[in-house]
Amino acid sequence: MEETFLNKVRSEAEAATRELVNIAGLESGDIMVVGCSSSEVMGGVIGTASSEETAVAVFEGVYGVLKERGIYLATQCCEHLNRAIIIEKELAKRERLPIVNVVPQPKAGGSWSTTAYKNFEHAVAVEHIQADAGMDIGDTLIGMHLKEVAVPVRLSVGKIGEAHLVCARTRGKFIGGERAVYADDMK
């Protein structure tokens, strides 16, 4: 794989992550879910040309930003693992999430989550999470892993490599009707 392309992908992933973290107002301890098709990043069709090199470049761009701010990364596996989530064991314990027994592979879970599993300190798989924000790289359908009220976020970065990029933040529900008063500072 051409190093120039991988550097571009790494840089785009980092820039998108920084922008989303800032717009979403993520804080230490928050969770960001990311789904990534390395096939789409390279210009192919999702699920057809998994690339560990590409996944590593995206991971380095995303994870570095989140790690420095104390934000947890949750990576979504591909459909072959029912879009399971790879996270740090510490987060699974904090959130009281049942751990499932599976180790993602490039063709069963995807290169993206395989990379996370190899690079997290104590990686585990869970079936569901409720993340505070999300990044969908290559139309991987992360919505099922966001908190209930997801709000689209438009970034200055519209693609990572050749993959379409869609991002979201979440917010608390507005309840109570026309007489209710809402907190302006709530995410």
**Which domains are delineated in the chain?**
3-172 (3.40.50.10360)
Could you tell me which residues are beta bridge partners of residue 166? 136
Tokens found for residue 70: 């104390």
Global pTM reads 0.91
How far apart (Å, rounded) are the C-alpha atoms in residues 137 and 160?
7
Quick one: which of 13, 33, 124, 129 has its CA closest to 74?
33
Asked whether residue 181 carries a pLDDT value surpassing 90, the answer given is: no
- The amino acid that residue 78 corresponds to is C
Cβ contact 151:168 at 8 Å:
yes
**Can you tell me the mean pLDDT for 74-95?**
93
Torsion (CA) 38, 139, 25, 145 in degrees, nearest 10: -100
* pLDDT value at residue 1: 58
Q: 24-74: per-residue pLDDT in tens? A: 999 999 999 999 998 898 787 787 778 899 999 999 999 999 999 999 999
The end-to-end CA distance of the chain, in Å, is 40
pLDDT over 90 (residue 107): no
Task: Compute the average pLDDT of residues 108-126.
Answer: 95
**Closest alpha carbon to 39 in 26, 60, 54, 27:** 54
